[in-house]
Amino acid sequence: MDIIVAKDVRKKFKLKHGQQVKNNGIVSNEIDALGGFDLNIKKGEFLVLVGPSGSGKSVFLDIVGGLSTPTSGVVYLDDKPVDAPSEKTGYVFQQYALFPWRTALSNIEFGLESRGVVKEERVKIARELLSLFGLSDFEDRYPYQLSGGMQQRVAIARALATKPEVLLMDEPFAALDAQTREILQNELIRIWEGTDTTVIFVTHSIDEAVFLADRVAVVTARPGKIKEIIEIDLPRPRHGDIRSCSAFAANRHKVWGALKAEVNKAQQDWKHAPVNSK
């Protein structure tokens, strides 16, 4: 069963006055971010989007989350067009986006509080999530007192607290060091495998995509659309040591094979980035 269906989703952005760019060889004062994005996402699956920088992956996530509207086309969530943020979705950003005046516990409570959940129940849920992420001893700490990895754990816990049907994750581990990133990948998989949440995850890391995904959707260079969807043939539950097996390498090779030409094309396109037309 598909929980999300994207049909011919297109998105244009106007450039600053006097700037122009080439879209498919045509000079324009608009930039085509998405150029006919078609994608069906199954309920409960972990889908990863990979593509060159500027290919519209984050733009698509914003449209699914109701934070942006497409220029044309439509995204359906549970058979209803998305035209505003929904309580069915949670969002985790690259930057931790925690409230600096709230403790770790209070940050996780926030979504529940805004939905009218009573204090006792909010605290119970938040403490369960802190325990799940190994942060029980840090519930009274403020964001500035937590490491980057801890802050992102809190951000993910906050998104999960409301039990969203769909979790949107926009490069959530990109700002972390390699060791912390791998630890959080393992934690995310462990926790997600115990839920029926659908995850759409954006990354530039092929290794991360292969480790996390049920399917990897390869996005073309701008204007972004789906080039190929690759089924990741690795068993679940997954553990860190799977990264060293030959099947992991084979899946990685398959994804890179689909992505490489798009990365090269994007690098060429950047030579024609917006310039002053005068």
Q: Is the pLDDT confidence value at 197 over 60?
A: yes
Statement: residue 116 has pLDDT above 70:
yes
**258-267 tens-digit pLDDT:** 999 999 988 8
What does pLDDT average to over the chain? Answer: 91
| pLDDT tens digits, one per residue of 62-79 | 999 999 999 999 999 999
Residue in 171, 199, 173, 200 with CA at minimum distance from that of residue 186: 173
Residue 21 confidence (pLDDT): 60
CATH superfamily, domain 2-88+165-272, is: P-loop containing nucleotide triphosphate hydrolases (3.40.50.300)
pLDDT of residue 169: 97
| Domain boundaries along the sequence of the chain | 2-88+165-272, 97-163
Q: How deeply is 172 buried, as exposed, middle or buried, from its count of CB atoms within 10 A (0-12, 13-18, 19+)?
A: buried
Q: In the prediction, which pLDDT does 278 show?
A: 38
